Structure 1
Amino acid sequence: MKKQIYLLFLLLSTAVFAQQKQVVTSIDTLKNKIGAEFKLSIKTTVDPSSKVIFPKLKNVGALEVIRSYPVDTAKIDGRYELIKKYGLTQFDSGRYVVPSIKIFIDSKPFMTDSLLVEVANVQVDTLKQKMFDIKDIAPAENPIGNWWKYLLIIALIIGIGAFIYWFLKKRQEKKLQEAIIKTPIEKATTLLDTLEKKELWQKGEVKAYYSELTDIARNYIEEAIEIPAMESTTSELIQGLRAASVKKKMTLSQEIIENLERVLKQADLVKFAKSKPLDFEITEDRNKIQKVILTLDKSIPVAVEVEEDTLLNEAQRQKQIQIQLQKQRKKRIITAVASVLFLLLATTIFLIATKGFDYVKDNLLGHPTKELLEAEWVKSEYGNPGVVIETPKVLKRVDLTKTLPKEGMALIKEMQSFAYGSVLDHFYLMVSTLKFKQETEIDLTKSMDGILQSLESQGAQNMIVKQEEFETKEGVKGVKAYGTFSQMDALTKSSAKLYYEALLFSQEGGLQQIILMHEEGDKYGNEISERVLNSVELKQVTK
């Protein structure tokens, strides 16, 4: 694309002059109501090779241009009849002059006739005319954007995932801590401590307290002494305990067995006869159960294990604990990640349903030209004759002199070019200026044709071209070409359709050029192009 102005310098030539041609001016009505449209028509007949430029107007005298109609073309006796219409209006009553308008035929100026029109008041009958309330104030668009809302949603979702991970970790650690208790006595002791922390009987829940207290004792006896304590009645449990003590050669005193039997019977009375022991009796029963458990544990004969077997069992136990911890950690991570992904998916589906797919894609996944549009723009002056322009990024100097033929360079005194991006990235912006060694009258239309032919020589296909006059805020006039073309990517072998806009200005001994390209249908690219072209300011040539 650096060669795109290659043919421009070969096609620069002096302006083409033609004979005086007649310009006919007419208007559809000389009197109209306030706000109604006057249609101003300008007609001229020219040769097929002639170039006619109708001005791009915002106002004609005191009248506002509300519409610029396309040029109607008709071929009559080998010549072309061109008719350009402008829609004019005025919102104040009175008489107004439609002044002469300058058009260019083969670069020569021609003036239209001036006309006098009248704008009449519209009488309003408030008794028949329906009245409407004043509209509410429309909210202004937020210049900061809504990006912080999406960031907050993502942070919230991640926070929910972290909470789920923490909650599962605490729950699994608690279960593991309960699972890795080594002996029945440790389990019973821990459960007794937990029961006291609940303070059930202090809260009046005596039945629940005795139920848990006796269950702890029965569970211990069943696990340590191996008798069906949970399924036995009080008398059956005592008989089984006496038999097991003889069989296992346990040294149990009569007092211990009687204390256990007394507490179990007390619990039966509380659960089934609604008995209510006194506070000191409850404390004594708890102490008796604890003493019974400790005494039973000490009375159970212990087989002496070989030290190596003990170390081996401990090592295996620790290994099993580590394996269990790893499984639990993996499960926590999977659950937390799945929760976050589910919330993200649900949020994305909601946004797509309410905002649309393109909105979600551009805001969450990102869009190159959207990022350019929302970047901090830079206003700078480039080249000589100077072009002041506002761009999303600073343009970098590029050297195009080596790509031009020697014949073209022989005519050029000074040439400067600045660019950003590339056609392969589907976004390109270039500003070029040059000064000629000799004063030359330039035909901008033919020069623009050279630029477009250069694009075609660089691979642009199926090019659609539209041309019109362009005027800067300072009143400097130039030529604008815009349209679309297809570009083949040599690497991916795919074709992309690009939209382009090119501006060309001529000043004393100098030429100024601006080219913008982006992917067709890219709304952010369209906004960038509009903002860039609206910011164009041209500096006068310094000799």
Structure 2
Amino acid sequence: MKKHLYLLLLLFSTAVFAQQKQVITSIDTLKNKIGAEFKLSIKTTVDTSAKVIFPNLKNIGALEVIHSYPIDTVKLDSKYELIKKYGLTQFDSGRYVIPSIKIFINSKPFVTDSLLVEVANVQVDTLKQKMFDIKDIAAAENPMGDWCKYLLIIALIIGIGAFIYWFIKKRQEKKLQAEIIKTPIEKATTLLDTLEKKELWQKGEVKAYYSELTDIARNYIEEAIEIPAMESTTSELIQGLKAASVKKKMTLSQEIIENLERVLKQADLVKFAKSKPLDFEITEDRNKIQKVILTLDDSIPVEVEVEEDMLLNEAQRQKQIQIQLKKQRKKRIVTALASVFFLLFAVTTFFIITKGFDYVKDNVLGHPSKELLEGEWIKSEYGNPGIVIETPKVLQRVDLTKTLPKDGMALIKEMQSFAYGSVFDQFYVMISTLKFKQETQIDLTKSMDGILQSLEAQGAQNMIVKQEEFETKEGIKGRKAYGTFSQINSLTKSSVKMYYEALLFSQEGGLQQILLFHEEGDKYGDEISERVLNSVELKKAAQ
């Protein structure tokens, strides 16, 4: 029989096989303190097609129903075992009768047993009990955690990138608009109007005003008449203009040439001799330049282009504009993305310097174990004999009965198992309980060896094992094993080193087992394991 028992301990399977043909009533304790919870359980075994109705109650006798737990359903071959639990409490001391409750199975009433419970006062010795002041107001936790701040930072960085894109686009559009002016005369007249709007000489910036004014005239002459006006001195420019007028058969009066020369010399005096013309002289010089430009433009002979050439030139111009627009769009996107990546890099570097690389990795990039640790934990009771435990997630019932040998199953009266994750996840926890049909003396050390052999059978390699005695807060003694092992990651095919802890207890013909492991070096996994094991409460086996 012991041989079969150890074979069962190599497997982590759970399912309930005890069959009931009547309604069974039980309660977790008959004595409790004021305000504490009694858990009333009603269990029945029915056919899979049966319709069972449990009452929805607010009070059961003098006790208040503080929680109506979901019905726990276990499939037993062709039957279902249904367990309904009610959480009861009472805020006055005394003895109370939990009366019979009527449930209906296929419209037929069945009555539960009545129970007597006792509620005791909580004794407080104010002479020995240390008194404390009222605690300060605690700040409410942010339901989104630190992610809210990170999302705001990311949104801000994206907003900055979008603003940079928009700003560059506006500047490029303005520049392109200036570049696609059709003729030199349009460009010159537009620049003269822009110069006047700046009001440079009115602000005392006479030198800057004359510099821009003469540059407009020189640019026009260079583009329209095709002589190197920008690099020429005043005298060279005048000589070049006279020669060009003869070559291009331009009709220019002596007055126009003299006015241009006079303004250019005036500008030279302002720029190099710090001359300060009077206001009316500045205005006259501006009018002279405008008249010179308009006169020069009128005197340039007009060449009649063939219609086909005009269409070709327009098509080429439009093509050049589209090419330039694509280049500008690409430049805007590259600049905006580069700005965003630079800001992300700067923010990340700042956090690495101030908080450390682990902080950035865990809080910005994310860490599965950290999310489990900081999530909402669940405290619940599993199995029979019951194990009350607090876990990051609700443990799901698992059924591995198909993996058990038939001769081994013949020894078991009841068997249950619950787990979160899988043996290949970064964090895994499993609870198993079982009861035997016959009372058996169990050697926990050998049973623990069987559990460790089971881990090796499932792929654990290079196991390091340490065993010691373990005692719960209630004084129940058991066996603890812990250490490390290596396993192959099914996705990356690389070896991962895991840390494990296993607890095993034997009570009144039943076994209670807790197994958990996580990646070695995971500080959040260590904190989860410690919190889980510190929360363990063991219940006595139900008969």
Q: TM-score, normalised by structure 1?
A: 0.66
Task: Report the 3-state secondary structure (helix = DSSP H, G, I; strand = E; otherwise coil) of the residue aligned with 1:529.
Answer: helix
CA distance in 1, matches of 2:260, 2:272: 18
- Cα 1:191/1:509, change in 2 over 3 Å: same
Task: Tell me the distance in 2 between the aligned counterparts of 1:278 and 1:459.
Answer: 97
Cross-structure match for 2:201: 201
Please give the residue correspondences for 1:241-280 in structure 2 after superposition, counting only pairs within 5 Å. Answer: 241-253=241-253, 256-268=256-268, 270-271=270-271, 275-280=275-280
**Superposition map of 1:54-203 within 5 A:** 154=154, 157-158=157-158, 161-203=161-203
After TM superposition, the structure 1 stretch with the greater mean CA deviation from structure 2, 161-170 or 379-388, is 161-170
How much does 1:528 deviate? 1.0
Report the secondary structure of 1:467's partner residue: strand
1:464 and 1:142, CA in 2 relative to 1: closer, same or farther beyond 3 A? farther
Distance 2:457 2:237 in 1: 104
Do the aligned partners of 1:185 and 1:297 also contact (CA within 8 Å) in 2?
yes
**Superposed CA RMSD:** 3.5
Q: 1:445 to 1:264 in 2, by over 3 A?
A: closer
Which residue number corresponds to residue 502 of structure 2?
A: 502
Q: CA–CA distance in 1 between the matches of 2:263 and 2:297?
A: 18
Matches within 5 A, 1:478-497: 478-488=478-488, 494-497=494-497
Give distance in 2, aligned partners of 1:246 and 1:423: 96
Counterpart-to-counterpart distance in 2, 1:487 and 1:240 = 88
Residue 202 of structure 1: how far off its partner (Å): 0.6
Rounded to whole Å, the distance in 2 between the matches of 1:226 and 1:515 is 90
Counterpart for residue 298 of structure 2:
298
Q: CA distance change for structure 1 residues 357 and 273 in 2, over 3 Å: closer, same or farther?
A: closer
Q: What one-letter code is carried by the residue in structure 2 that aligns with 1:374?
A: E
1:23 is matched with none
> Are 2:468 and 1:468 equivalent residues in the alignment?
yes
Q: Distance in 2 between matches of 1:228 and 1:457?
A: 90
Partner in structure 2 of residue 28 of structure 1: none
C-alpha separation between the residues in 1 aligned to 2:156 and 2:260? 56
Q: Which residue of 2 aligns with 1:322?
A: 322
- Write the mapping of 1:24-63 to structure 2, written as runs, cut at 5 A: none
Residue equivalent to 2:88: none
The residue that corresponds to 2:334 in the other structure is 334
Task: Summarize deviations over 1:146-190 as a string: whole Å, max 9, x none.
Answer: 666655665565555445544544444444344333321122122
Change (3 A) 1:273 1:443: closer
Which residue does 1:525 correspond to in 2?
A: 525
1:30 alignment partner in structure 2: none
SS of alignment partner, residue 421 of structure 2: strand
Q: Counterparts of 1:5 and 1:164 in 2: how far apart (Å)?
A: 70
Counterpart-to-counterpart distance in 1, 2:230 and 2:248 = 20
Q: Is the 8 A contact 1:7 1:453 kept in 2?
A: no
SS at match of 1:323: helix
Identity %: 87
Quick check: 1:6–1:403 contact (8 Å CA) kept in 2? Answer: no
Q: In the alignment, does 2:384 pair up with 1:374?
A: no
CA offsets, 1:56-113, max 9 Å, x none?
A: xxxxxxxxxxxxxxxxxxxxxxxxxxxxxxxxxxxxxxxxxxxxxxxxxxxxxxxxxx
Cα distance in 2 for partners of 1:376, 1:422 equals 20
Q: Please state whether the residue corresponding to 1:317 is helix, strand or coil.
A: helix
Shift of 1:354: 5.9
Alignment correspondent of 2:456: 456
- Contact map agreement 2:480 2:501 (CA 8 A) in 1: yes
Answer whether contact 1:7 1:451 (CA < 8 A) is retained.
no
In 1: Cα distance, 2:213 partner to 2:454 partner: 96
> Counterparts in 2 of 1:5-20, with a 5 A limit?
6-8=7-9
* Structure 1 range deviating more: 273-282 or 301-310: 273-282
> 1:398 maps to which residue?
398
Counterpart Cα distance in 2 of 1:350 and 1:231: 51
Q: Is the 8 A contact 1:6 1:454 kept in 2?
A: no
Q: What per-residue deviation string (whole Å, max 9, x for no partner) do you get for residues 246-276 of structure 1?
A: 4423344555445444544544554566554
> Contact 1:428 / 1:518 at 8 angstroms: preserved in 2?
yes
**CA–CA separation in structure 2 for the residues paired with 1:265 and 1:345:** 55
334-343 or 140-149, larger mean C-alpha shift: 140-149
Q: 2:482 and 2:186 mapped to 1: Cα distance?
A: 86
Amino acid at match of 2:449: D
Preserved CA contact (<8 Å) 1:401 1:415: no
Can you list the C-alpha shifts for 1:251-304, whole angstroms capped at 9, x where unaligned? 445554454445445445545665544434433332332232123212211211
**What does 1:335-374 correspond to in 2, within 5 Å?**
335-345=335-345, 348=348, 352=352, 356-374=356-374
Structure 1 unaligned blocks of 5 or more = 11-139
TM-score, structure 2 normalization: 0.66
Give a deviation string over 1:302-328, Cα, whole Å, max 9, x none.
211122221221221222222222223
Q: Which stretch shifts more, 299-308 or 146-155?
A: 146-155
Contact 2:260 2:288 in 1 (8 A): yes
Cα distance between partner residues in 2 of 1:322 and 1:387: 74
Aligned with 1:511: secondary structure?
strand
Q: Name the count of aligned residue pairs.
A: 411
Post-superposition CA distance 1:387-444 (Å, at most 9, x none): 2221112212110211111122222222221111122224221112223334445443
For 1:78, the equivalent position in structure 2 comes to: none
CA distance in structure 1 between the aligned counterparts of 2:491 and 2:334, rounded to whole angstroms = 40
> Per the alignment, do residues 174 and 518 of structure 1 end up closer, same or farther by CA in structure 2, a change over 3 Å counting?
same
Deviation at 1:199, TM superposition (A): 0.7
Decide whether the 8 Å contact of 1:5 with 1:454 is kept in 2: no
Match of 2:421 in 1: 421
**Counterpart position of 1:516:** 516
CA apart distance, 1:334:
3.1
1:325-365 per-residue CA deviation (whole Å, 9 max, x = no partner) reads 22233233334434444554455556556655444433333
Q: Which residue of 2 aligns with 1:77?
A: none
Equivalent AA in structure 2 for residue 371 of structure 1: E
8 A Cα contact 1:498 1:518, kept in partner: yes
Aligned residue for 1:121? none
Contact 2:8-2:408 within 8 A present in 1 as well: no
- Letter in structure 2 aligned against 1:458: Q
Greater CA drift, 233-242 or 312-321: 233-242
- Alpha-carbon separation, structure 2, partners of 1:465 and 1:232: 92
Tell me how far apart the structure 2 counterparts of residues 529 and 272 of structure 1 sit (CA, whole Å): 84
Mean Cα displacement is larger for which, 526-535 or 461-470? 461-470
Cα distance, 1:448 vs structure 2: 2.5
Contact 1:465/1:481 (CA < 8 Å) preserved in 2? yes
Whether the 8 Å CA contact 2:469–2:480 is kept in 1: the answer is yes
Q: Which runs of 5 or more structure 2 residues have no equivalent in the other structure? A: 12-137
- Alpha-carbon separation, structure 2, partners of 1:244 and 1:344: 59
1:532 is displaced (CA, Å) by 0.8
Q: Is the 8 A contact 1:439 1:509 kept in 2?
A: yes
